[in-house]
Amino acid sequence: MASEVLDIVIVGAGLSGISAARFYLDVHPESNVVVLEKDTSIGGPWGKSRMYPGFWSQSGIRMSGFSDVPFSVPKDAEVCNDIYEAKYVSDYLENYVDSHVYAEKPLRDRIRLDFAVGRITKALDIWIVEGEQDGASRSFKTKRLIVATGITSEPKMPILAGSSTFGGQILHQNDYGTFMTQPSSIAQKVAVIGAGKSAADAVYGLVKAGHEVHWIIRKSGDGPGAFTNPADNAKGPFLNDPELAATRMFATMSPGCFTQPNAWTRFLHGTSLGDKVLEGVFNGADEKCKKIGNFHGRPGALDGFEDLESNVKLFWVTGQFGLIQRPDFWDTVAPNVRVHSHDIARLENHKVVLKDGPSLPMDVIVCATGFRNDFSFFSAEQRIQLGLPHLRADDEAEASWRTLEATADKEVLQKYPKLATPPPVSLAPDSPSLNRITPNRLYNCILPITDHSIAFHGNIYGPNGFRIAEVQAIWTTALFDGIVQLPGKQAMQQDIAWVNAFNRRRYPTKGALGNFFHYDMMGYLDRLLGQVGLTSYRKGWWADLMYPLIASDLQGTTGEYLRKYRAKMEGERTDRALGVGGG
CATH superfamily, domain at 5-154+372-420+428-577: FAD/NAD(P)-binding domain (3.50.50.60)
* Single-letter amino acid, residue 395: D
Write the CA distances from 514 to 374, 500, 550, integer angstroms.
Answer: 14, 4, 26
User: Cα separation of 199 and 324, whole Å?
Assistant: 11
| Range list of H helices, 436-485 | 465-480
Report pLDDT for 429. 64
Q: State how far the Cα of 58 lies from the Cα of 56, in Å rounded to an integer.
A: 7
Cβ atoms of 344 and 221 within 8 Å: the answer is: no
**CB of 144 closer than 8 Å to CB of 70:** no
Pick the closest to residue 9 from 124, 154, 122 (CA basis): 122
**Sequence spans of domains, the chain:** 5-154+372-420+428-577
Rounded to the nearest 5°, which phi and psi values hold at 36? -110, 130
Q: What pLDDT is recorded for position 236?
A: 65
Residues present in the chain in total: 583
pLDDT of residue 186: 73
Residue 515 has what DSSP assignment?
-
Q: What is the pLDDT along the chain (583 residues), one digit of tens a residue?
A: 457 899 999 999 999 999 999 999 999 999 999 999 999 999 999 999 888 888 899 889 999 999 999 999 999 999 888 899 999 999 999 999 999 999 999 999 999 999 999 999 999 999 999 999 988 999 999 999 999 999 888 899 999 999 999 999 999 998 998 888 887 657 799 999 999 999 999 999 999 999 999 999 998 888 899 988 766 555 667 888 888 888 999 999 999 999 888 999 999 999 999 999 999 999 998 998 888 889 999 999 999 999 999 989 999 999 888 888 888 999 999 999 999 999 999 999 999 999 988 999 999 999 999 998 789 999 999 999 999 999 999 999 999 999 999 999 999 999 999 999 999 876 766 677 768 899 999 999 999 999 999 999 999 999 999 999 999 999 999 999 999 999 999 999 999 999 999 999 999 999 999 999 999 999 999 999 999 999 999 999 999 999 999 999 999 999 999 999 987 777 666 555 555 444 3
Q: Cβ atoms within 10 A of the Cβ of 193, count?
A: 24
Q: How confident is the model at residue 580, as a pLDDT?
A: 47
Cβ atoms of 459 and 440 closer than 8 Å: yes
CA distance 8 to 34: 7
CA distance 368 to 350: 19
- Cα angle, residue 44 at apex, residues 524 and 459 outer, rounded to 5°: 30
3-state secondary structure of 19: helix
Query: For residues 97 and 106, is the Cβ–Cβ distance under 8 A?
Result: yes
Q: Which amino acid is at 193?
A: I
pLDDT of residue 583: 36
Rounded Cα distance between 460 and 457, Å, is 8
Strands of 344-348's sheet in order across: 344-348, 351-354, 359-361
